[in-house]
Amino acid sequence: MPIVIDKDIPAYKILTGEKIFVMDKDRAISQRIRPIEIAILNLMPTKEDTETQFMRLLSNSPLQINITLIKTSSYTSTHTPAAHLERFYKSFEEVKNNRFDGMIITGAPVECMNFEDVAYWNELTEIFDWTTTSVTSTLFVCWAAQAALYYFYGVNKHPLSEKCFGVFPHHKTKKGMSEPLLRGISDTFHIPHSRHTVINSDDIKNIEGLSVLAKSKAAGAAIMKSDDNTRVFVTGHMEYDRFTLKNEYERDLGKGLGLKPPANYFSDKKMTKVKMNWTSTSNLFYINWLNYYVYQVTPYEL
């Protein structure tokens, strides 16, 4: 089954070009089924790229999914055309009286700041609180995972001596071995990371109601989940495309930043070919999340 999005959004053309089943809203209205409602709070500056990446992963489910894109009101992105935001995004005020089966809150390039110093922190924490009553299961990604762990559980991030940048191997914990969220995923698997801070698994092991499902020597605690399945935290970027890290690397080089090439990423010395070894993990993870913690437990009537 398809994801349902506006046929004028750039992701529609990209995904249909990839032979991904995408349905426009006009056609979806004519079908007599109850689609899954997924909200995406997109905090990334590259909004068009990010929305396409998440839509691509959500489209692999057999479910029909309605996507609602949300933006912050307390901070307006300067990297995305205002017309795009106005046309395809809603503010939290516009959706806060709705209920959603699932929600994804993305990362943001603010990880070196104190959480409370982020311009939209108050609005974000209001959204965090709202998810506890209005969303069946929320997936927090990268910085949003760090922010939610801090807000809900008091877990703090730790600065790194150098950027965690590349594609790193992870392994399941004992808890993760029997976790439906990781069903079908190999005991050792890869996830891209791009950040200056880390969550230590030792800071979580004694927190009641919270479990580490997978971790990495290089990237720290990578996948965590509340025991009631309503919150899932991923510190990496399973959604990244083949060349996302390459583009970030070239962007930072252009800024004069002395950054090492992304680790375990390029497969040739000229750094033109990418070893993309995380897509099967990404697809399985998002299908599992939608199946076990959204579709199977969400009420039919929202």
Q: 177, 142, 126: which is closest to 248 by C-alpha?
A: 142
Phi-psi region of 89 (alpha: psi -120 to 50; beta: other; left: phi over 0): beta
Number of Cβ within 10 Å of residue 117's Cβ equals 8
Determine the Cα–Cα distance for residues 257 and 269; give it in Å rounded to an integer: 21
179 is catalytic: no
Rounded Cα gap, residues 173 and 220, in angstroms: 12
Strands 231-234 and 220-226: antiparallel
Continuous segment of H or E residues that includes residue 212: strand 210-216
3-state SS, residue 73: coil
Out of 37, 48, 51, 142, pick the active-site residue: 142
Question: Which candidate in 37, 190, 237, 248 is catalytic?
Answer: 237
Dmax over CA atoms of the chain, in Å, equals 55
48 noted as active-site residue: no
Residue 171 falls in the annotated catalytic set: no
Task: Please give the single-letter amino acid code of residue 226.
Answer: S
Segment holding 224, helix H or strand E: strand 220-226
Whether the CB-CB separation of 197 and 146 falls below 8 Å is answered with: yes
Give me the catalytic one of 48, 51, 179, 239: 239
List, by residue number, the catalytic residues: 142, 237, 239
